[in-house]
Structure 1
Amino acid sequence: MREIDIKNTSKEIQKWIKKYLKSANADGVIIGISGGIDSALTAFLCSEALEKDSIICINIPCESNPEDYEDAKIITNAIGKELYTLDLTTVYREFLNQVKLLVKDNQIASANIKSRLRMTGLYYFAQCKGIYLVAGTGNRTELAIGYYTKYGDGGVDFESIGGLYKCEVKSLAKLLGVPEKIINKPPTAGLWQGQTDEKEIGISYNELDEIVYRIDHYLDLHDLNAKNVEKIIKMMKSAEHKSKMPPICKII
Protein backbone atom coordinates (compact mmCIF):
# COMPACT_ATOMS: atom_id res chain seq x y z
CA MET A 1 0.00 0.00 0.00
CA ARG A 2 1.03 3.56 -0.57
CA GLU A 3 1.88 6.02 2.17
CA ILE A 4 0.21 9.39 1.78
CA ASP A 5 0.63 12.65 3.65
CA ILE A 6 -2.62 12.53 5.63
CA LYS A 7 -2.60 16.20 6.67
CA ASN A 8 -1.98 17.40 3.13
CA THR A 9 -4.57 14.98 1.76
CA SER A 10 -7.14 16.36 4.18
CA LYS A 11 -6.45 19.92 3.03
CA GLU A 12 -6.60 18.91 -0.65
CA ILE A 13 -9.98 17.20 -0.23
CA GLN A 14 -11.40 20.19 1.65
CA LYS A 15 -10.16 22.53 -1.07
CA TRP A 16 -11.66 20.25 -3.72
CA ILE A 17 -15.07 20.19 -1.97
CA LYS A 18 -15.18 23.96 -1.73
CA LYS A 19 -14.12 24.37 -5.36
CA TYR A 20 -16.62 21.83 -6.64
CA LEU A 21 -19.57 23.41 -4.84
CA LYS A 22 -18.57 26.81 -6.16
CA SER A 23 -18.35 25.51 -9.73
CA ALA A 24 -21.83 24.01 -9.37
CA ASN A 25 -23.22 27.26 -7.91
CA ALA A 26 -24.51 25.13 -5.04
CA ASP A 27 -25.79 26.56 -1.76
CA GLY A 28 -24.70 23.59 0.32
CA VAL A 29 -24.59 19.83 0.80
CA ILE A 30 -26.86 17.08 2.08
CA ILE A 31 -25.10 14.20 3.84
CA GLY A 32 -26.74 10.91 4.75
CA ILE A 33 -25.27 10.03 8.15
CA SER A 34 -25.44 6.26 8.62
CA GLY A 35 -23.40 6.12 11.80
CA GLY A 36 -20.40 4.58 10.05
CA ILE A 37 -16.88 5.84 9.43
CA ASP A 38 -17.33 6.80 5.77
CA SER A 39 -20.27 9.13 6.32
CA ALA A 40 -18.55 10.44 9.46
CA LEU A 41 -15.37 11.36 7.58
CA THR A 42 -17.41 12.95 4.78
CA ALA A 43 -19.28 15.05 7.35
CA PHE A 44 -16.07 16.10 9.10
CA LEU A 45 -14.39 17.09 5.81
CA CYS A 46 -17.43 19.09 4.67
CA SER A 47 -17.59 20.72 8.09
CA GLU A 48 -13.98 21.85 7.73
CA ALA A 49 -14.44 23.00 4.12
CA LEU A 50 -17.82 24.75 4.26
CA GLU A 51 -19.88 27.08 6.39
CA LYS A 52 -21.82 25.17 9.04
CA ASP A 53 -25.19 26.50 7.85
CA SER A 54 -24.59 25.08 4.36
CA ILE A 55 -24.48 21.47 5.62
CA ILE A 56 -27.56 19.34 6.29
CA CYS A 57 -27.15 15.96 7.98
CA ILE A 58 -29.88 13.34 7.74
CA ASN A 59 -30.20 9.87 9.21
CA ILE A 60 -32.61 7.68 7.25
CA PRO A 61 -33.43 4.49 9.15
CA CYS A 62 -35.10 1.68 7.25
CA GLU A 63 -35.46 -1.36 9.53
CA SER A 64 -32.14 -0.15 10.92
CA ASN A 65 -30.30 -0.98 14.12
CA PRO A 66 -31.25 1.72 16.70
CA GLU A 67 -27.56 1.96 17.64
CA ASP A 68 -26.85 3.38 14.18
CA TYR A 69 -29.00 6.41 15.00
CA GLU A 70 -27.15 6.91 18.28
CA ASP A 71 -23.84 6.74 16.41
CA ALA A 72 -25.13 9.22 13.85
CA LYS A 73 -25.94 11.58 16.73
CA ILE A 74 -22.39 11.18 18.07
CA ILE A 75 -21.06 12.23 14.66
CA THR A 76 -23.26 15.30 14.23
CA ASN A 77 -22.74 16.39 17.83
CA ALA A 78 -18.99 16.26 17.21
CA ILE A 79 -19.28 18.72 14.30
CA GLY A 80 -21.95 20.86 15.95
CA LYS A 81 -24.76 20.03 13.54
CA GLU A 82 -28.42 19.12 14.00
CA LEU A 83 -29.39 15.62 12.84
CA TYR A 84 -32.62 15.30 10.89
CA THR A 85 -34.35 11.92 10.86
CA LEU A 86 -36.50 10.45 8.12
CA ASP A 87 -37.73 6.96 9.03
CA LEU A 88 -38.68 5.03 5.89
CA THR A 89 -39.36 1.67 7.57
CA THR A 90 -43.12 1.83 6.99
CA VAL A 91 -42.69 2.92 3.37
CA TYR A 92 -40.20 0.08 2.78
CA ARG A 93 -42.43 -2.60 4.31
CA GLU A 94 -45.48 -1.46 2.34
CA PHE A 95 -43.43 -1.48 -0.87
CA LEU A 96 -42.35 -5.08 -0.21
CA ASN A 97 -45.93 -6.10 0.63
CA GLN A 98 -47.06 -4.85 -2.76
CA VAL A 99 -44.18 -6.12 -4.88
CA LYS A 100 -44.27 -9.61 -3.32
CA LEU A 101 -47.70 -10.02 -4.90
CA LEU A 102 -45.98 -9.87 -8.29
CA VAL A 103 -42.59 -11.52 -7.90
CA LYS A 104 -40.75 -13.86 -5.53
CA ASP A 105 -38.70 -12.04 -2.89
CA ASN A 106 -34.92 -11.81 -3.18
CA GLN A 107 -32.80 -10.75 -0.18
CA ILE A 108 -30.32 -8.62 -2.13
CA ALA A 109 -33.03 -6.99 -4.27
CA SER A 110 -35.05 -6.18 -1.13
CA ALA A 111 -31.99 -4.80 0.66
CA ASN A 112 -31.12 -2.58 -2.30
CA ILE A 113 -34.55 -0.98 -2.06
CA LYS A 114 -33.50 0.46 1.30
CA SER A 115 -30.55 2.19 -0.30
CA ARG A 116 -32.66 3.52 -3.17
CA LEU A 117 -35.31 4.84 -0.80
CA ARG A 118 -32.61 6.66 1.16
CA MET A 119 -31.31 8.19 -2.06
CA THR A 120 -34.82 9.42 -2.87
CA GLY A 121 -35.11 11.00 0.59
CA LEU A 122 -31.76 12.77 0.26
CA TYR A 123 -32.61 14.24 -3.14
CA TYR A 124 -36.03 15.33 -1.93
CA PHE A 125 -34.36 17.32 0.84
CA ALA A 126 -31.76 18.69 -1.59
CA GLN A 127 -34.36 19.94 -4.05
CA CYS A 128 -36.58 21.42 -1.37
CA LYS A 129 -33.66 23.35 0.13
CA GLY A 130 -32.62 24.94 -3.16
CA ILE A 131 -29.38 24.17 -4.94
CA TYR A 132 -27.98 21.56 -2.59
CA LEU A 133 -25.76 18.67 -3.67
CA VAL A 134 -25.91 15.16 -2.25
CA ALA A 135 -22.52 14.15 -0.88
CA GLY A 136 -21.42 10.61 -1.61
CA THR A 137 -19.73 8.62 1.14
CA GLY A 138 -18.05 5.88 -0.91
CA ASN A 139 -14.33 5.11 -0.58
CA ARG A 140 -12.10 3.89 -3.42
CA THR A 141 -12.05 0.27 -2.24
CA GLU A 142 -15.82 -0.07 -2.24
CA LEU A 143 -16.32 1.92 -5.42
CA ALA A 144 -13.77 -0.26 -7.25
CA ILE A 145 -15.49 -3.56 -6.45
CA GLY A 146 -19.00 -2.16 -6.84
CA TYR A 147 -19.86 -2.57 -3.18
CA TYR A 148 -22.71 -0.10 -3.33
CA THR A 149 -26.21 0.05 -4.78
CA LYS A 150 -26.63 1.44 -8.27
CA TYR A 151 -28.99 4.43 -8.04
CA GLY A 152 -28.91 3.97 -4.26
CA ASP A 153 -25.88 5.06 -2.23
CA GLY A 154 -24.17 5.28 -5.62
CA GLY A 155 -26.69 7.96 -6.67
CA VAL A 156 -24.86 11.08 -5.51
CA ASP A 157 -23.44 14.35 -6.86
CA PHE A 158 -19.83 13.99 -5.77
CA GLU A 159 -17.53 11.55 -3.93
CA SER A 160 -15.07 13.47 -1.75
CA ILE A 161 -13.46 10.35 -0.24
CA GLY A 162 -13.73 8.27 -3.41
CA GLY A 163 -9.97 8.42 -3.93
CA LEU A 164 -9.14 7.01 -0.50
CA TYR A 165 -8.70 3.33 0.26
CA LYS A 166 -10.46 2.07 3.40
CA CYS A 167 -7.30 2.10 5.55
CA GLU A 168 -6.70 5.72 4.50
CA VAL A 169 -10.26 6.61 5.48
CA LYS A 170 -9.46 5.33 8.96
CA SER A 171 -6.19 7.30 9.16
CA LEU A 172 -7.84 10.53 8.03
CA ALA A 173 -10.76 10.00 10.41
CA LYS A 174 -8.30 9.73 13.31
CA LEU A 175 -6.56 12.93 12.20
CA LEU A 176 -9.79 14.93 12.06
CA GLY A 177 -11.03 13.68 15.42
CA VAL A 178 -13.83 11.32 14.42
CA PRO A 179 -14.89 9.62 17.69
CA GLU A 180 -13.12 6.32 18.42
CA LYS A 181 -16.45 4.49 18.74
CA ILE A 182 -17.19 5.29 15.10
CA ILE A 183 -13.68 4.49 13.87
CA ASN A 184 -13.66 1.08 15.58
CA LYS A 185 -17.19 0.13 14.57
CA PRO A 186 -17.34 -2.89 12.18
CA PRO A 187 -18.22 -1.48 8.71
CA THR A 188 -21.72 -2.38 7.55
CA ALA A 189 -23.99 -1.29 4.73
CA GLY A 190 -26.96 -1.73 7.08
CA LEU A 191 -28.86 -3.78 4.52
CA TRP A 192 -30.03 -6.43 6.99
CA GLN A 193 -29.59 -7.25 10.67
CA GLY A 194 -26.15 -8.58 11.57
CA GLN A 195 -24.69 -7.78 8.14
CA THR A 196 -21.07 -6.59 7.99
CA ASP A 197 -19.02 -5.66 4.93
CA GLU A 198 -16.14 -8.06 5.56
CA LYS A 199 -18.47 -10.97 6.27
CA GLU A 200 -20.44 -10.36 3.08
CA ILE A 201 -17.40 -9.76 0.85
CA GLY A 202 -15.49 -12.61 2.46
CA ILE A 203 -12.19 -10.72 2.63
CA SER A 204 -10.76 -8.37 5.27
CA TYR A 205 -10.45 -4.70 4.33
CA ASN A 206 -6.68 -4.85 4.86
CA GLU A 207 -6.33 -7.53 2.20
CA LEU A 208 -8.98 -5.93 0.01
CA ASP A 209 -7.18 -2.58 0.08
CA GLU A 210 -3.91 -4.21 -0.95
CA ILE A 211 -5.47 -6.10 -3.85
CA VAL A 212 -7.42 -3.13 -5.20
CA TYR A 213 -4.45 -0.80 -4.78
CA ARG A 214 -2.13 -3.10 -6.72
CA ILE A 215 -4.69 -3.58 -9.49
CA ASP A 216 -5.22 0.19 -9.69
CA HIS A 217 -1.47 0.76 -10.06
CA TYR A 218 -0.62 -2.27 -12.22
CA LEU A 219 1.58 -3.80 -9.52
CA ASP A 220 2.56 -7.44 -9.05
CA LEU A 221 -0.11 -9.65 -7.44
CA HIS A 222 1.70 -12.98 -7.29
CA ASP A 223 2.50 -12.89 -3.55
CA LEU A 224 -1.17 -12.36 -2.64
CA ASN A 225 -3.91 -14.95 -2.13
CA ALA A 226 -4.63 -16.07 -5.72
CA LYS A 227 -8.23 -17.08 -4.98
CA ASN A 228 -9.05 -13.71 -3.44
CA VAL A 229 -7.28 -11.80 -6.23
CA GLU A 230 -9.35 -13.67 -8.82
CA LYS A 231 -12.52 -12.94 -6.84
CA ILE A 232 -11.80 -9.20 -6.65
CA ILE A 233 -10.87 -8.96 -10.34
CA LYS A 234 -14.22 -10.53 -11.20
CA MET A 235 -16.05 -8.14 -8.86
CA MET A 236 -14.31 -5.13 -10.40
CA LYS A 237 -15.16 -6.31 -13.90
CA SER A 238 -18.79 -6.97 -13.01
CA ALA A 239 -19.07 -3.53 -11.39
CA GLU A 240 -17.83 -1.50 -14.37
CA HIS A 241 -21.37 -0.67 -15.49
CA LYS A 242 -22.07 1.00 -12.15
CA SER A 243 -19.57 3.80 -12.76
CA LYS A 244 -20.62 4.54 -16.34
CA MET A 245 -23.53 6.33 -17.93
CA PRO A 246 -26.00 3.96 -19.63
CA PRO A 247 -24.79 3.06 -23.13
CA ILE A 248 -26.68 4.63 -26.02
CA CYS A 249 -27.42 2.90 -29.29
CA LYS A 250 -26.30 5.52 -31.79
CA ILE A 251 -28.24 5.86 -35.01
CA ILE A 252 -26.27 7.33 -37.90
Structure 2
Amino acid sequence: MDLTPKLGSETVQTLKTFIADYLSQSGAQGYVLGLSGGIDSAVVAKLLVEAVGSDKVAVLLMPSSTTLDEDMKDAQKFAEELNVEIAHIDIEPVLASYKKAMEIELNQMSAGNLMSRIRMCILFAFANQNNLLVAGTSNKSELLTGYYTKYGDGASDILPIGDLYKTQVRMLANEIQIPAKIIAKVPSAGFWAGQSDEEELGITYEELDKILYGLENCLSAQEIHRMTGIEMEKITRVIERVERTWHKRRLGIIPKVGIKTVGVDWRE
Protein backbone atom coordinates (compact mmCIF):
# COMPACT_ATOMS: atom_id res chain seq x y z
CA MET A 1 0.00 0.00 0.00
CA ASP A 2 1.41 3.37 -1.04
CA LEU A 3 0.86 5.92 1.72
CA THR A 4 1.26 8.93 -0.56
CA PRO A 5 -2.19 10.61 -0.67
CA LYS A 6 -3.56 10.80 -4.21
CA LEU A 7 -5.94 13.30 -5.78
CA GLY A 8 -9.21 11.82 -7.00
CA SER A 9 -10.36 12.55 -10.55
CA GLU A 10 -13.57 14.16 -9.24
CA THR A 11 -11.96 16.23 -6.49
CA VAL A 12 -12.02 19.59 -8.26
CA GLN A 13 -15.65 19.25 -9.29
CA THR A 14 -16.64 18.04 -5.81
CA LEU A 15 -15.06 21.10 -4.21
CA LYS A 16 -16.58 23.55 -6.69
CA THR A 17 -20.04 22.01 -6.26
CA PHE A 18 -19.70 22.26 -2.49
CA ILE A 19 -18.65 25.92 -2.70
CA ALA A 20 -21.52 26.85 -5.02
CA ASP A 21 -24.15 24.90 -3.10
CA TYR A 22 -23.10 26.29 0.27
CA LEU A 23 -23.31 29.85 -0.99
CA SER A 24 -26.72 29.22 -2.54
CA GLN A 25 -28.09 27.77 0.69
CA SER A 26 -26.61 30.51 2.88
CA GLY A 27 -28.31 33.52 1.32
CA ALA A 28 -24.98 35.37 1.28
CA GLN A 29 -23.78 37.36 -1.73
CA GLY A 30 -20.37 35.75 -2.13
CA TYR A 31 -17.08 34.89 -0.45
CA VAL A 32 -14.09 36.74 0.98
CA LEU A 33 -10.69 35.31 1.86
CA GLY A 34 -7.26 36.49 2.84
CA LEU A 35 -4.73 36.17 0.02
CA SER A 36 -1.15 35.70 1.22
CA GLY A 37 0.75 34.96 -1.96
CA GLY A 38 1.09 31.31 -0.94
CA ILE A 39 -0.27 28.14 -2.48
CA ASP A 40 -3.18 27.40 -0.12
CA SER A 41 -4.92 30.75 -0.44
CA ALA A 42 -4.24 30.82 -4.19
CA VAL A 43 -5.89 27.42 -4.65
CA VAL A 44 -8.92 28.42 -2.58
CA ALA A 45 -9.29 31.72 -4.46
CA LYS A 46 -9.15 29.95 -7.83
CA LEU A 47 -11.71 27.35 -6.72
CA LEU A 48 -14.06 30.07 -5.48
CA VAL A 49 -13.87 31.99 -8.74
CA GLU A 50 -14.42 28.88 -10.84
CA ALA A 51 -17.34 27.83 -8.62
CA VAL A 52 -19.31 31.07 -8.25
CA GLY A 53 -17.69 33.65 -10.54
CA SER A 54 -15.19 36.44 -9.95
CA ASP A 55 -17.97 38.96 -9.23
CA LYS A 56 -18.85 37.02 -6.07
CA VAL A 57 -15.32 36.81 -4.67
CA ALA A 58 -13.31 39.42 -2.75
CA VAL A 59 -9.76 39.06 -1.47
CA LEU A 60 -8.04 40.96 1.32
CA LEU A 61 -4.29 41.54 1.32
CA MET A 62 -3.33 42.08 4.96
CA PRO A 63 0.44 42.51 5.33
CA SER A 64 2.37 43.09 8.54
CA SER A 65 5.98 44.10 9.11
CA THR A 66 7.03 40.44 8.74
CA THR A 67 5.28 39.98 5.39
CA LEU A 68 7.56 39.72 2.38
CA ASP A 69 6.96 42.40 -0.26
CA GLU A 70 7.36 39.72 -2.92
CA ASP A 71 4.46 37.74 -1.46
CA MET A 72 2.16 40.75 -1.59
CA LYS A 73 3.20 41.46 -5.18
CA ASP A 74 2.44 37.85 -6.11
CA ALA A 75 -0.91 38.02 -4.33
CA GLN A 76 -1.82 41.28 -6.06
CA LYS A 77 -0.89 39.95 -9.50
CA PHE A 78 -2.79 36.70 -8.98
CA ALA A 79 -5.89 38.54 -7.72
CA GLU A 80 -5.80 40.81 -10.76
CA GLU A 81 -5.62 37.77 -13.02
CA LEU A 82 -8.69 36.36 -11.27
CA ASN A 83 -10.46 39.71 -11.75
CA VAL A 84 -11.78 39.77 -8.18
CA GLU A 85 -12.37 42.67 -5.80
CA ILE A 86 -9.13 43.52 -3.96
CA ALA A 87 -8.73 45.38 -0.67
CA HIS A 88 -5.42 46.25 1.03
CA ILE A 89 -5.39 46.50 4.82
CA ASP A 90 -2.12 46.98 6.72
CA ILE A 91 -2.53 45.20 10.06
CA GLU A 92 0.66 46.63 11.61
CA PRO A 93 -1.09 49.66 13.21
CA VAL A 94 -3.72 47.33 14.69
CA LEU A 95 -1.03 45.03 16.05
CA ALA A 96 0.81 48.01 17.52
CA SER A 97 -2.34 49.20 19.29
CA TYR A 98 -2.80 45.78 20.89
CA LYS A 99 0.80 45.74 22.09
CA LYS A 100 0.45 49.25 23.50
CA ALA A 101 -2.78 48.41 25.30
CA MET A 102 -1.34 45.20 26.77
CA GLU A 103 1.89 46.93 27.88
CA ILE A 104 3.92 43.76 27.42
CA GLU A 105 6.55 42.60 24.95
CA LEU A 106 5.04 39.71 23.02
CA ASN A 107 7.27 36.83 21.95
CA GLN A 108 7.35 35.77 18.30
CA MET A 109 4.72 33.07 18.63
CA SER A 110 2.27 35.20 20.62
CA ALA A 111 2.69 38.10 18.18
CA GLY A 112 2.22 35.76 15.21
CA ASN A 113 -0.96 34.27 16.63
CA LEU A 114 -2.25 37.75 17.39
CA MET A 115 -1.63 38.77 13.77
CA SER A 116 -3.64 35.77 12.62
CA ARG A 117 -6.54 36.68 14.91
CA ILE A 118 -6.46 40.30 13.77
CA ARG A 119 -6.77 39.12 10.17
CA MET A 120 -9.68 36.90 11.19
CA CYS A 121 -11.49 39.84 12.80
CA ILE A 122 -10.98 41.98 9.70
CA LEU A 123 -12.20 39.21 7.39
CA PHE A 124 -15.39 38.67 9.38
CA ALA A 125 -16.04 42.41 9.69
CA PHE A 126 -15.65 42.75 5.92
CA ALA A 127 -17.90 39.72 5.42
CA ASN A 128 -20.58 41.08 7.77
CA GLN A 129 -20.52 44.47 6.09
CA ASN A 130 -20.94 42.99 2.61
CA ASN A 131 -23.07 39.90 3.32
CA LEU A 132 -20.26 37.51 2.42
CA LEU A 133 -18.97 34.22 3.78
CA VAL A 134 -15.38 33.80 4.96
CA ALA A 135 -13.48 31.07 3.11
CA GLY A 136 -10.62 29.62 5.12
CA THR A 137 -7.42 28.26 3.60
CA SER A 138 -6.24 25.62 6.09
CA ASN A 139 -5.47 22.16 4.73
CA LYS A 140 -5.84 18.73 6.33
CA SER A 141 -2.16 18.46 7.29
CA GLU A 142 -2.43 21.72 9.25
CA LEU A 143 -5.75 20.83 10.83
CA LEU A 144 -4.61 17.40 12.05
CA THR A 145 -1.34 18.69 13.49
CA GLY A 146 -2.85 21.86 14.94
CA TYR A 147 -0.52 23.94 12.80
CA TYR A 148 -2.73 27.00 12.71
CA THR A 149 -3.97 29.68 15.08
CA LYS A 150 -6.99 28.77 17.18
CA TYR A 151 -9.71 31.34 16.40
CA GLY A 152 -7.34 32.87 13.85
CA ASP A 153 -6.77 31.33 10.43
CA GLY A 154 -8.63 28.30 11.79
CA ALA A 155 -11.85 30.35 11.95
CA SER A 156 -13.99 30.54 8.82
CA ASP A 157 -17.40 29.68 7.39
CA ILE A 158 -16.02 27.03 5.04
CA LEU A 159 -12.69 25.27 4.54
CA PRO A 160 -12.66 24.20 0.88
CA ILE A 161 -9.31 22.37 1.13
CA GLY A 162 -9.73 21.19 4.72
CA ASP A 163 -9.95 17.54 3.66
CA LEU A 164 -6.87 17.70 1.41
CA TYR A 165 -3.36 17.02 2.66
CA LYS A 166 -0.68 19.57 1.73
CA THR A 167 0.77 17.24 -0.92
CA GLN A 168 -2.71 16.92 -2.44
CA VAL A 169 -3.06 20.71 -2.46
CA ARG A 170 0.12 20.88 -4.53
CA MET A 171 -1.33 18.35 -6.98
CA LEU A 172 -4.55 20.36 -7.14
CA ALA A 173 -2.60 23.58 -7.69
CA ASN A 174 -0.98 22.09 -10.76
CA GLU A 175 -4.30 20.78 -12.04
CA ILE A 176 -6.06 24.15 -11.83
CA GLN A 177 -2.98 25.99 -13.13
CA ILE A 178 -1.83 28.06 -10.19
CA PRO A 179 1.31 30.03 -11.18
CA ALA A 180 4.46 27.93 -10.85
CA LYS A 181 6.15 30.63 -8.78
CA ILE A 182 3.47 30.36 -6.11
CA ILE A 183 3.51 26.55 -6.11
CA ALA A 184 7.30 26.50 -5.67
CA LYS A 185 7.36 28.74 -2.58
CA VAL A 186 8.58 27.41 0.76
CA PRO A 187 5.43 27.15 2.93
CA SER A 188 5.45 29.69 5.76
CA ALA A 189 2.97 31.20 8.18
CA GLY A 190 4.93 34.46 7.99
CA PHE A 191 4.99 34.95 11.76
CA TRP A 192 8.65 36.02 11.65
CA ALA A 193 11.41 36.49 9.10
CA GLY A 194 12.72 33.22 7.70
CA GLN A 195 10.02 31.05 9.25
CA SER A 196 9.08 27.88 7.39
CA ASP A 197 6.39 25.29 8.11
CA GLU A 198 8.61 22.27 7.64
CA GLU A 199 11.43 23.60 9.81
CA GLU A 200 9.01 24.41 12.61
CA LEU A 201 7.22 21.06 12.31
CA GLY A 202 10.54 19.22 12.06
CA ILE A 203 9.41 17.13 9.12
CA THR A 204 8.72 17.52 5.40
CA TYR A 205 5.13 17.60 4.20
CA GLU A 206 5.84 14.51 2.08
CA GLU A 207 6.74 12.51 5.19
CA LEU A 208 4.08 14.14 7.36
CA ASP A 209 1.29 13.35 4.93
CA LYS A 210 2.33 9.72 4.62
CA ILE A 211 2.15 9.39 8.40
CA LEU A 212 -1.21 11.14 8.63
CA TYR A 213 -2.62 9.13 5.73
CA GLY A 214 -1.47 5.97 7.46
CA LEU A 215 -3.26 7.03 10.64
CA GLU A 216 -6.37 7.82 8.60
CA ASN A 217 -6.23 4.25 7.31
CA CYS A 218 -6.01 2.90 10.88
CA LEU A 219 -2.39 1.76 10.58
CA SER A 220 -0.13 1.48 13.61
CA ALA A 221 3.11 3.41 13.99
CA GLN A 222 5.03 0.20 13.32
CA GLU A 223 3.09 -0.46 10.12
CA ILE A 224 3.67 3.09 8.89
CA HIS A 225 7.38 2.74 9.62
CA ARG A 226 7.58 -0.57 7.77
CA MET A 227 5.71 0.75 4.73
CA THR A 228 7.46 4.13 4.44
CA GLY A 229 10.87 3.79 6.07
CA ILE A 230 10.22 6.99 8.03
CA GLU A 231 11.99 7.03 11.41
CA MET A 232 9.88 5.88 14.35
CA GLU A 233 10.83 9.02 16.26
CA LYS A 234 9.18 11.20 13.62
CA ILE A 235 6.09 8.99 13.46
CA THR A 236 5.70 9.02 17.25
CA ARG A 237 6.16 12.79 17.36
CA VAL A 238 3.44 13.33 14.73
CA ILE A 239 1.03 11.02 16.56
CA GLU A 240 1.67 12.87 19.82
CA ARG A 241 1.11 16.21 18.09
CA VAL A 242 -2.22 15.06 16.62
CA GLU A 243 -3.36 13.87 20.06
CA ARG A 244 -2.09 16.99 21.83
CA THR A 245 -3.86 19.45 19.51
CA TRP A 246 -7.30 17.79 19.42
CA HIS A 247 -8.82 20.77 21.28
CA LYS A 248 -8.06 23.05 18.31
CA ARG A 249 -10.38 20.99 16.13
CA ARG A 250 -13.39 21.60 18.37
CA LEU A 251 -15.24 24.60 19.73
CA GLY A 252 -14.88 25.47 23.40
CA ILE A 253 -15.01 22.19 25.32
CA ILE A 254 -18.34 21.72 27.12
CA PRO A 255 -18.87 19.49 30.19
CA LYS A 256 -21.79 17.14 29.50
CA VAL A 257 -24.88 17.82 31.61
CA GLY A 258 -27.88 17.57 29.24
CA ILE A 259 -29.21 14.70 27.14
CA LYS A 260 -27.52 15.96 23.98
CA THR A 261 -24.53 18.30 24.04
CA VAL A 262 -23.38 20.69 21.32
CA GLY A 263 -20.10 19.50 19.86
CA VAL A 264 -20.45 16.07 21.47
CA ASP A 265 -23.60 14.18 20.50
CA TRP A 266 -25.94 16.88 19.17
CA ARG A 267 -26.44 16.21 15.48
CA GLU A 268 -27.39 19.10 13.17
After TM superposition, the score normalised by the length of structure 2 is 0.88
Q: Which amino acid aligns with 1:193?
A: A
Superposed displacement of residue 77, structure 1:
2.3
1:4 Cα deviation from its structure 2 partner: 2.9
Q: Which amino acid aligns with 1:32?
A: G
Q: Write the mapping of 1:77-96 to structure 2, written as runs, cut at 5 A.
A: 77-96=80-99
Offset of residue 65 of structure 1: 1.5
Aligned AA (2:133):
L
Secondary structure in 1 matching 2:129: helix
| Partner AA of 2:74 in structure 1 | D
Aligned match of 1:237: 243
Q: Deviations over 1:59-118 (max 9, x none)?
A: 11122221121111122123122421110111112322332x2x5533211110000000
In the alignment, is residue 44 of structure 1 matched against residue 46 of structure 2?
A: yes
Alignment partner, residue 143 of structure 1 = 143
1:25-59, CA deviations, whole angstroms, 9 ceiling, x for partnerless residues? 22110011011000000000001100221101111
Distance 2:6 2:112 in 1: 36
Identical pairs, percent: 37
Residue 148 of structure 1: SS of its match in structure 2? coil
Q: Tell me how far apart the structure 2 counterparts of residues 178 and 146 of structure 1 sit (CA, whole Å).
A: 26
Structure 2 partner of 1:129: 130
CA distance in 2, matches of 1:213, 1:32: 28
The residue number in structure 2 matching 1:248 is 254
> Is residue 228 of structure 2 the alignment partner of residue 222 of structure 1?
no
* Distance in 2 between residues matched to 1:3 and 1:230, nearest whole Å: 23
Correspondence 1:185 to 2:185: yes
How far residue 148 of structure 1 moved from its aligned partner, in angstroms, is 0.3
Aligned residue runs from structure 1 range 53-68, under 5 A:
53-63=55-65, 64-68=67-71
Whole-Å separation in 1 of the counterparts to 2:255 and 2:105: 32
Partners of 1:105 and 1:62 in 2: how far apart?
15
In the alignment, the residues of structure 1 paired with residue 181 and residue 19 of structure 2 have an alpha-carbon distance, to the nearest angstrom, of 26
What TM-score do the two structures reach when normalised by structure 1?
A: 0.94
Structure 2 gap segments, 5+ residues each:
259-268
Across the two proteins, how many residue pairs are aligned to each other? 248
Change (3 A) 1:251 1:211: closer
1:105-184 counterparts in 2 under 5 A? 105-130=106-131, 132-184=132-184
Counterpart secondary structure, 2:152: coil
Stretches of structure 1 lacking an aligned partner (at least 5 in a row): none
Aligned to 1:22: 24
Over aligned residue pairs, what C-alpha RMSD do you find? 1.4
SS at the partner of 1:159?
coil
Distance 1:95 1:212 in 2: 37
Which piece of structure 1 moves more, 138-147 or 85-94? 85-94
Residue 225 of structure 2 aligns to a residue in which SS?
A: coil
